[in-house]
Amino acid sequence: MKRVVESDVCIIGAGITAAMVAERLAERTSASITVIEAGGRTASLAERTRTRARMLAYGENPYPNDHIRDQTGTGAMYRQMVVGGSAMHWGGAIPRYSPEDFRIRSLYGVGFDWPISWDDIEPYYQEAEERIGAAGEQGPPDCDPRSRPYPMPPLPLSYNLARMREWTDEAGIPFWTQPWARNTEPYRGRNVCQRCDTCAVCPTGAKYTPDFAFDQLLAAGRIDLFDRTLVRRLTLDPGSDRIALAEAADRDSPDDPVEFRAGTFVIAAGHAWSSHLLLLSANSRFPDGLANRTGNVGRYMTGHWYMSGYIDLPMRLYPGVFANNSLLSHRFASPGPLDRYLRHDLRLWESNVGRAPRLTNDDGRLLWGDEIMADWRARTASGATARIRAYYDVIPDRESRLTLDRANTNALGDPMPRIDYRAADATIDLEPHTLGTIRGRFEELARAGGGAVRSTRTSRLFEHPGGGCRMGDDPVTSVVDRRGRTHDHENLFVVGAPTIVSSGCANGTLTFCALSLMAAEEIGKEGLR
Amino acid sequence: MPVPLPGGTLRAVAEAVLPGELAAEGRERAVAAFERWSEGLEPVAELSHPYLVPEVRYSGPDPRPGWVAQLEGLEKECESRYGKGFGDLDVPARRGMLARPLGQAGPGLGSPASAAHVALALMAHFYTSPVATDLCYGRVIAKQQCRGLEGALGEPAALAGGGGP
């Protein structure tokens, strides 16, 4: 039997961007809000002490039932599909993008300008930081601008990071503490960080995860949450381009379809599943998918690449004290005028690479008992290893695409997404310069500390991915406007990662949240109660 | 319930592969911790998702029957070769018998659950433990232990009883 659920706003997805939209609308309007999530609930806070222990001991997934077996695609994408989304597992790094990210075409003649500026998004960065609970240190204002202080003081440096910061100061490159979604003070009913060093699963609740927000909204009676409910397609109003309903399958009762009717629909399903839903929703008037009149849905999939390395340093550190804190520099994300385009961040962590206990020595001889300990001590007594990584900006290409994979369907017969990422020629052409310059900076840093680069590697995984529904003022080249409203459907919004124009050179979550709040403000003007 | 590892032989292995500075008491704690860990091991368990990898990964099949067989095999081989139990051999002789299976491994210790030999599993379990790290550095690093934010800047305290370089 078909069920019909009606609300003012229907949010599809229950990850961090959905939490932002739901929370803001719940606070500032009296609209009825429905949130739909394909996945179920995973380990509650009370269960995370146990699942953490098993993760440490056995490497087990600390979030049981966090995915749907037949709901998965091909290409780099998150596996999680659960209330809270991929931000259940995140480490909680929440840097902002740099002002330059929003106008690299104007400044450097490459890539694309966003339709919004830094000044447009800055208040929403602050709001997102306050909703999440950001603990951060103000970096040099010229490469870490902000209008107001962080809501909480930064995580304290560990002994190891303090020694490493002395080294980076010596090198003349400013580093400061990574901003984190981890409490350094009691915040919104959640605990203070206990430095458990397993931030993927925080047993104290000090790390923000979206389930906290949903639980509070549910307790206040401000949302209805339908989990284990898979939205399969959006359907238009007869005779108009407005969205009338979302057709869904209750995973516990798949023969009984659910119809969600609402005045406004918000797709908050992340970088892969947002475009996927629009493509799945093709109909006779939009044969290539909803919001896809100009063929841009699923295009300009983006993310950043990186070079990482290990640096040997002549100092004694104690790896294991707090490996989940790190130092950050945005000096080279805000580089000023450039002859050739290159923008990147720098991150530094403690590491035990090259200094872990081992079974055989450099000659391949088997070590026993005290020999293992003596060998280990000899490699840690006066030397330490730092891990370094530079995310660099990758220019997205129009042919970097998410498509429907007809050869891979779920149990309902719906094709799953396939992502074939591609960087623009400009990024490929610049790559030798990019990697050579970054390697040189690693070496310069190492020399300043009397050390040496032990090894480097490069990655073309499109990290912190986004795109597929990019924003723009011109419908010919974009899917949504600057507030996330689709050009083709006045009551359909896409929020967060899919709407980004480029992914800069910093973790993207805070930007996805800020964009979602900008959209939520617009949605709130829709004549909602 | 998994078949328990033969405790006597396991302890004789421990004496050959763990550091002597642990002494009998520390060694017994390390073996007991390994036994508890082994009892709690769940074969083919879902592992943490790697970043941006859509495939789900699982741990391997149960290694414990193989480990039991290896420990029983050590006793049987010892009886055949020397007419006595593995624990009755001196430590160099025990290492001689363990060198062949351990010689296939290295240079790293790997993870205990994927160790091909029980001696390597025991070593990997101990040397990757917070106890071993503290002993190596001679400091109370106490990795993976939850603690407050206060005192973060301080150098880890010296380990009571020594250790370190």
Averaged pLDDT in 10-residue chunks for chain A of 529 residues? 96 98 97 98 96 97 95 96 97 97 97 98 98 97 95 97 97 97 97 96 98 98 98 96 98 93 98 98 98 98 98 96 95 94 98 96 95 97 96 97 98 97 98 98 98 98 98 98 98 98 97 98 83
| Chain A (137-156) residues lying within 8 Å, Cβ to Cβ, of chain B | 155-156
Distance CA A163, CA A168 (A): 9
pTM summary value: 0.97
Q: CA-CA distance, A254 to A256, in Å (whole number)? A: 5
Q: List A259's β-bridge partners, or say none.
A: A4, A247
| B1 reaches A (C-beta below 8 A) | no
Per-residue pLDDT of B78-130, as tens digits, reads 999 999 999 999 999 999 999 999 988 889 999 999 999 999 999 999 999 99
Cα dihedral sign, A411-A412-A413-A415? negative
Selected for mutation to probe chain B from A192, A355, A366, A382 (highest B CB count within 10 Å) is A366
Q: Residue A499: what pLDDT?
A: 98
* Closest approach of B135 to chain A, Cα-based (Å): 8
Residues 6+ apart with CB under 8 A from A119: none
ipTM for the complex?
0.96
Q: How far apart are CA A260 and CA A29, in angstroms?
A: 20
A366:B102 CB<8 A: yes
CB contact, 8 Å: A1 with chain B?
no
Contact (CB<8Å) B137/A64? no
**Cα separation values, A3 from A224, A247, A255, Å:** 15, 10, 11
pLDDT at A30: 95
* pLDDT in the model for residue B104: 84
Helix, strand or coil, per DSSP, at residue A11: strand
Query: In B, residues 134-163, which contact A (CB 8 Å cutoff)?
Result: 135-137, 139, 141-149, 152-156
Give the pLDDT of residue B156. Answer: 96
What percent of chain B has pLDDT above 70? 99
Domains of chain A: 3-523 (3.50.50.60)
Q: Which long-range contacts (CB under 8 A, 24 or more apart) does A401-409 make?
A: A401/A298, A401/A299, A401/A301, A402/A75, A402/A272, A402/A275, A402/A276, A402/A279, A402/A298, A402/A299, A402/A301, A402/A468, A403/A279, A403/A298, A404/A276, A404/A279, A404/A280, A405/A73, A405/A74, A408/A73, A408/A74
Distance, CA of B134 to CA of B5 (rounded, Å): 27
Token pair recorded at residue A310: 């290990």
What is chain B written as a DSSP string?
Answer: -PPPP-HHHHHHHHHHHS-GGGHHHHHHHHHHHHHHHHHH--TTPBBPPPTT--S--B--S--HHHHHHHHHHHHHHHHHHHSS-GGGS-HHHHHHHHHHHHTTS-SB---GGG-SSHHHHHHHHHHTSHHHHHHHHTB---TT----STTTTSPPPBPTT----
What are the helix (H) ranges across A115-265?
118-132, 159-171, 210-219
